[in-house]
Amino acid sequence: MPEPSVERQTIEERIQNIVQRTPAYQELCQLVGELLLHTLEQDRPEDLPQPQSDTSRWKQGRSLWDRGRLELDWPRRWELAIELAQVVADRPGGAETVQALAGLRADAGPQGGEGAGAFRAVLTGDGKALERAARKHGGQAPVLGLLLRLALRPALLAAAHQARQQLELEAWSFGHCPVCGSAPGLATLSGEGGQRTLYCSLCETAWPYPRLQCPFCESQEPGIFSYLKPEDEPGLQVDLCARCGQYLKTLDLRELAGPVIPPLDEAATWHLDLIARRHRQEGTPPEAEAKDPAS
């Protein structure tokens, strides 16, 4: 794992790169960056409980962890989540966020197995459960989800780093994360020919994956892959699969500066989500989509 001072510098440089590329994201990136920086030095790997890993699962094409059953130090996760909420307390809607998070913490009940509370929704990607919890306590699900995810981040990154020492990621041929089983949140293209790498939306593990294969339905059927590119933003695109209807935001590192920091880069490409969702609703393929994404 990198030292906190190294990661701090990387986060600050990444924010500068994103803002230079897309100035409209300055405020959002600075906020997410501030939250990320707050999590640094909050935990050390040796102090973190390590999830149970099952290598027999991995050999069968299943992730090393069952993320729905992960047991972490829930009191510390909630403590960090409350600290992160205080960072946004003075911003518009911040007071409601603090109150909503306190409500989620109260709902978690006693510590132990029940202490995970709303963290389980983040771990399993259960957006509907998080939406229900947010409505109950008067908060916004995307904001609460971000705070909970970042509160999990130090523990998950440290545990995933240790778990990856057991794995040969080059041998993993599936679209879900080899460590925690989550779907990818981002992809990158790099090197000669545009080699594709997927980034886990939860533990941030990165692994290679074929360019012309859908990571969600794992189809390689010819002619079902296409992409959308926003105007005047070289290096950004959305890869679409006509078979399953899923999409994946992609950064071409041959045109954009790295490294990728998933929480930052996912936030700073929100307009790509809007483009992809609008396309799915309209169902009208634009001209750019007719091209093969590997061309």
Domains of the chain with CATH codes: 42-167 (no CATH), 170-290 (3.90.1670.10)
List the structure tokens of 36: 């990320």
Q: Please compute the mean of the pLDDT values over residues 223-234 and round it to a whole number.
A: 88
For the whole model, what pTM was predicted? Answer: 0.88
Give residue 93's pLDDT band: very low, low, confident or very high (50, 70, 90): confident
Contact 196, 277 (CB under 8 A): no
User: What is the band of 283 on the pLDDT scale with cuts at 50, 70, 90?
Assistant: low
Question: What would the pLDDT profile of 125-178 be if each residue is shown by its tens digit?
Answer: 999 999 999 999 999 999 999 999 999 999 999 889 888 988 888 889 999 999
In the structure, what pLDDT confidence band is assigned to residue 294 with cuts at 50, 70 and 90?
A: very low
Cα distances from 73 to residues 126, 211, 228, in angstroms, run: 21, 38, 41
